[in-house]
Amino acid sequence: MRVLAVFKHYPTLSQTYKENELRALLTDHEVRIVSIGGSKAMYRHHLPYDTIEQPADLDRILAEFRPEVIHGHYLHQIDLLHEAAEKSNVRFTLRTHSFDVLGLDDDDLRRWLPFVTSPRCAGILAFPFLAERLLKAGYPEDKVVEDWPVVPIDRFYDTSPNQEGILNMGACIPKKNMPAYLALAQSMPGRRFTLCPIGFNTERLQDLNRRMGSPVTFHPTVEPEAMPTVYKQHDWLVYTADRQLASVGWPMAIAEAQASGLGILMQNIRPDLRQFIGPAGFLFDDIHEARRILSQPYPLEMREAGFEHCRKSDIQRNIGKLMSLWAD
């Protein structure tokens, strides 16, 4: 099929789930990518794409490419996808994430219902806990499809021993609560803590790290293809989050780290995170608990469970759910 992928700010380093999805689709489909606005933190090895500044500029590409289906990400883009599908007389699909659903109350979610119930909408993909939220807001059951993150697990799968070290990574935005990671590192001076930051408030966080005595080493920007090596240089992944915002979703880094043999330690901000990390990781409530867990070796049985549990996020297992929506 001819698939038109309409994204905002492609390619952005903190959104490589789009890249994973696109490359999996290219196996069976002709895909053209349109980015509305430029990248916020570009990585090198991305796919070719067209940049447009206004949604109205999309009309020219619709006429040239003549898509058979339109696909995008984030609930707040559903009106744009619906309009493009109407103009092309085709259907569209959409993949939700976390902030685009968790940041809305039921009334806000219902605002998008006319686009969801439209015949143009073939379906919406959502993590299980988000699917439950959408259904509660009145979204039709036949339009909401449960799905897991889309990770190329085989790229990261490595059962060899890991070096010692503690890792955190991601965009330095409030919901990730990176200052808590600095505080944890400061409380464990004998351990090696690394942060792979992505843009946004990195300089401010580096300044805070210096004022705290530099307990964390900031890694230069890591291209996606280099991440398997970075993971193997550590034996723990600590994923901090803001308990008040509670808007961290199901990050790909968890499944990538499980496939790479790392111990998982994630901030306990919602009950659904236990389903996500499964039997292969710990949830912590505060820095004291995190320090206690990190003071012990990661249990071998958890590490072994991680090599199996990460497969739930394997893109080869999950991409078929998207393509089946196009076939229906």
Q: What pLDDT shows up at residue 38?
A: 81
Biggest distance spanned by C-alpha atoms of the chain: 62
Q: How confident is the model at residue 121 (pLDDT cuts 50, 70, 90)?
A: very high
Average pLDDT over residues 151-158: 98
Contacts of 193 (CB under 8 A, 6+ apart): 165, 166, 167, 168, 181, 184, 185, 215, 216, 217
Pick the CATH number of 2-147 from 3.30.160.100, 3.40.109.10, 3.40.50.2000, 3.40.50.970: 3.40.50.2000
Return the domain boundaries, the chain.
Answer: 2-147, 153-312
Tell me the average pLDDT of the chain: 96
- What pLDDT is recorded for position 131? 97
Render pLDDT for 20-52 as a digit per residue (tens, 0 to 9): 999 999 999 999 999 998 887 899 999 999 999
pLDDT digits (tens, 9 = 90+) for 271-305: 999 999 999 999 999 999 999 999 999 999 999 99
Note whether 2-147 and 153-312 share their fold. Answer: yes
220-264 pLDDT, tens per residue? 989 999 999 999 999 999 999 999 999 999 999 999 999 999 999
- What's the pLDDT score for residue 328? 74
Q: What is the pLDDT of residue 103?
A: 86
Crossing angle between the packed helical segments 315-327 and 16-25, to the nearest 10 degrees: 70
**Does the pLDDT value for residue 55 go beyond 80?**
no
Q: For position 299, what pLDDT does the model report?
A: 98
| Residue 198 binned pLDDT confidence (cut-offs 50, 70, 90) | confident
pTM: 0.96
List the strands of the sheet with 69-73, edge to edge: 50-52, 30-36, 2-8, 69-73, 91-95, 121-126, 144-146
> 191-229 as b/e, with b when 16 or more CB fall inside 10 Å?
bbbbbbbbbbbbeebbeebeeeeebbeeeeebebeebee
pLDDT class of 54 with cuts at 50, 70, 90: confident
| pLDDT for 200 | 75
Given the structure tokens 């080493």, which residue do they identify?
217
153-312 has CATH 3.40.50.2000 classification = yes
**Sequence-separated (6 or more) residues with CB below 8 Å from residue 46:** 10, 11, 19
- Residue 53 in this model has a pLDDT that exceeds 90: no
Question: Is the backbone of residue 297 left (phi > 0), alpha (psi -120 to 50) or beta?
Answer: beta
